[in-house]
Structure 1
């Protein structure tokens, strides 16, 4: 069931173009109906001696591009004294990991935290966060799907308390703008509308 990342006759330039072009990360790949279970990823990981500490770069001249999409679920608790606010987001990260290319006909859905921990994930963080936490309500709140072409989609729910520098010199007619700054050691690409 497992195949090597580069098939015979596959154009390397075509593959490089796919890895450089972040638009492939945004394509909808179905609803997840009847995906394969988590156990299907284990032979794939074993066959390539997968190391979750190694960044999935296929070519030295092409960085890993990570597409980021965020849905704001909750935005509240604006505190003018502490200059902070609370935000609850669902963050979807998408990237290619050619080590996970396989011959299955449907995506593999990762549901168990133990299996999730075996797979490399990007390291985005909120720069202006005072504190952040992942949701764990009876079980960790995450979704991961690994597609046959090596596309990985990982969704996680995060709650954060963030700094927001507020100016009150025009009070009571002031308007405040609070941002949420995201950074990573990877190349992040924003997917969706500008906020």
Structure 2
């Protein structure tokens, strides 16, 4: 009994307090800003430029004698480090973790990236790093509004997959319309349908 009493329980301190006082939001903003700044500086360096060029034109980079496997492993390592950090922060904020915590993240990430690229574009590196963040916030806000006020139009929680699919299709359509080639194709299709309706 004396040995049991002498033992002290060590509890890991959570960086989030879950008090809804804004401190958790501020901490998340600081962490995201730090990741964006670090990635922006790293990708503007010579190795980062090589990695970005490899993503755009792999055969062109390999022709300079750079190992394709090394660049692929480096890109996957950086991506998985960011994924692991985000997963750990999400588990800390939620207070739990299980095997189903990552379901639907591929769809959410796709919708976030496409929405962010439509709003911010892909011209500059900094905007390219911010676009998934902005798109993710907008996407989650839309889902929250649908879950909170969707009951007025008969929307159920089981319809979330349908809403997500419709949202992604709409976002992809807007992305096509935002490009000059997409606008030209839409105009040609409208003219074709108009001419066929006259016949």
Task: Give the TM bin, normalised by the shorter chain.
Answer: under 0.3
- More helix by percentage: 2
Q: Provide TM-score, normalisation by structure 2.
A: 0.22
TM-score normalised by L of structure 1: 0.22
Which of the two has higher C-alpha Rg?
Answer: 2
